[in-house]
Amino acid sequence: MKHFSFTIILAGLVLVACEGPMGPAGVAGTNGNNGTDGAAGKDANNVCLGCHASTNMAAKDVEYRQSKHFTGVTSLSRNTKYCARCHTNEGFKEITSTGTFVVNNDIPSATRITCGTCHAHRSFDFSADTNAQTLRTTTPVLLNYTINLVATDFGKINNLCNTCHQIRGVTSEKYTDSLGVVRSFSQLPFFPFSPTKNDLATVNYQVGQSFSVHDGNQSNLFKGINGYEYTGQTYTRTWQHSANTCTTCHMNKVDPVRKVGGHSLIVNTLACEQCHDTEKIAPTQAKIDAKRIELGELLTARKVFRKSTSTAGVVSYSAVNTHDFYGRLFPTTASTTLFGTALVAANTVSPTSGLVVYGNTVTMATDASYATRMGRPWKYGELGAAYNYGYINSELSMGVHNPVYAMQLLQKSIDWLKANP
């Protein structure tokens, strides 16, 4: 049996910039360590200083300052009720401690993601899985947009990252229409896709509805789940790197000169070359991107999407509403009827409470976009193809997180559209 006269040694240890907790009293001993029965105490200098050595902590701080978690934005929109859970330190601490989906209210004084957002000592038992003991959460993630709340287990460290790096749920509150009626806004009215769905069933894509997945969908692609999967098709969920964690690549070997690796969360691509003789990222992305454009073009030809080119020459595709805010079908010819064509967010900040005053309104106008309207509801298969386009397009790795599943989602969408003109 082993006895650690741990606290006694710890008492003599100076931790950097933080105060250690008081442990239980140690047992008196014979080995000069004040532990009765002999065995030498575990050296807290090694246990704690493995991480807390000031050079190590300082290095982490320098790396962290390269990351978007530090350099990103925390202004107004990100600290509101629907954004703070992922975009701020206080919001994340709140939802992980209360187990809620959104924070209780806007957090005007919220600060950016920092060490203590991700880290908290959950125990000092470092006998196994040392790093995971210092993470704020490692429990399976209740994905924001699922109705039946089944937690998805991405693996310990991934659960930390994916509590934020997932599809976002509701994003706004209420809209007031021209009659002064307050209506609620639904971000993902079509989700989750039922496993017994009918690809040919119809669905309105109304003004005010959104099926956007937001920027943080890395979790789902990495695991090869939650794309729109067509009836009768099979999908491959795993690939070469599926057994990795997010940190295998995003906290890989630090290169202080190139400012990559470690807590910068920027992938040190040179370190990939220990296995890959050729660079894998660019060719993988090029292949997926070509497929993404093929799907975008097909959806444009069908008037599910509208294509636009910016003055800088950047091509983008956006989904075209079939129905207005009140559920009236948009015609395909010019009309003098006024439709609920757009929602305007005119949110302001209360000078007294600092909280956001939601002032969203519905714009009534004639429809200038009739030439690019489809004139009928979508089929679920079309919604699925449009959703899959967004799933890949707003996932910043452009397929690298799971090239196999990414390619299948795009290709099977294309195949379905061609088979169902």
Establish whether the linkage from the previous residue to 192 is cis, with ω within 30° of 0: yes
Q: Which stretch binds ligand HEC (CB under 6 A): 14-22, 177-185, 308-316, 379-387?
A: 14-22
Nearest approach, Cβ of 283 to ligand HEC (angstroms)?
6
Q: How far apart are CA 360 and CA 247, in angstroms?
A: 40
Question: Does 259 participate in binding ligand HEC (rule CB under 6 A)?
Answer: no
In the window 57-76, what residues touch ligand HEC (CB under 6 A)? 57, 60-61, 64, 68-69, 72-73
Residues 218-237 that bind ligand HEC (CB under 6 A): 218-219, 222
Give the 3-state secondary structure of 294-313: HHHHHHHHCCCEEEEECCCC
Q: Which amino acid is at 330?
A: F
**Nearer to ligand HEC among residue 95 and residue 304 (C-beta):** 95
Say whether residue 83 binds ligand HEC (CB under 6 A): yes
Number of amino acids touching ligand HEC (CB under 6 A): 87
Q: Which two tokens stand for residue 406?
A: 């990414």
CB burial class (10 A; 0-12, 13-18, 19+) of residue 416? buried
Residue 131 contacts ligand HEC per CB under 6 A? yes
Say whether residue 117 binds ligand HEC (CB under 6 A). Answer: yes
Residues between 94 and 113 that touch ligand HEC (CB under 6 A):
113
Rounded Cα–Cα distance for residues 316 and 347 (Å): 27
165 binds ligand HEC (CB under 6 A): yes
CB of 136 to ligand HEC, least distance (A): 8
Residue span binding ligand HEC (CB under 6 A) among the ranges 130-138, 189-197, 312-320, 382-390:
130-138
- 171 near ligand HEC (CB under 6 A): yes
Q: Does 126 bind ligand HEC (CB under 6 A)?
A: yes
- Which residue's CB is nearer to ligand HEC, number 61 or number 415? 61
CB 85 → ligand HEC: shortest distance, Å? 5
- CB-nearest residue to ligand HEC: 72
Q: Which is nearer to ligand HEC, 240 or 337 (CB)?
A: 240
Q: Is 144 in the site for ligand HEC (CB under 6 A)?
A: yes
Examine residue 274 and tell whether it contacts ligand HEC (CB under 6 A).
yes
